[in-house]
Amino acid sequence: MVQEVASTSMSHTTIPQWQKRLVAAGVLVVTGAILIVAAVLSPDASGAGTHTQLGMPACSWIVAADMPCPTCGYTTAFTHAAHGDLSAAFGTQPFAALLAVATAVVFIGSLIVVLTGAPLGGLVARYWTAKWTWAVIGMVLAAWVYKILLFKELI
């Protein structure tokens, strides 16, 4: 009885293959654009400021508070990673380096879904829990503390 109810409710939520591929194509375009932009930029030697090559202003946190913002160094780390220098990416901003690698993995996964229709799209949703959310928040905060210590030349 329970299996009948489960299989009946799941049949109502089945997404057509073409829609899964369309979503994957959107993800492919977004992640591909991020990786291409990162590959075109040159990483700033200071570990922050690469974003100014995109016409963005210098970080106002550094000017106002004499400390980096929580995302300080993300563009530089992505750029290092896109150039294949993962050690420089991790040294610049550890969480952003992980995010850059995850972006590349998602790009490849979405390409596989677009080309083959493989059911990869639900993996994150299936295994993501509140513990993962808290772990990610902790990693973001730890990487920010690292960036502050690096900025203040304490490490």
Tell me the per-residue pLDDT of 28-79, one tens digit each, with 9 for 90 and over. Answer: 999 999 999 999 999 999 888 999 999 999 888 988 999 999 999 999 999 9
Q: Which among 49, 125, 132 is positioned nearest to 92, based on CA atoms?
A: 49
What pTM, to 2 d.p., does this model score? 0.84
Q: Which residue, chain included where needed, has tokens 């690292």?
A: 146
Please compute the mean of the pLDDT values over residues 131-145 and round it to a whole number.
96
Interior/surface letters 8-42, b for 16+ CB within 10 angstroms, e for the rest: eeeeeeeeeeeebbeebeebbeebeebbeebeebe
Instruction: List the one residue out of 126, 128, 109, 127 whose CA is nearest residue 118.
Output: 109
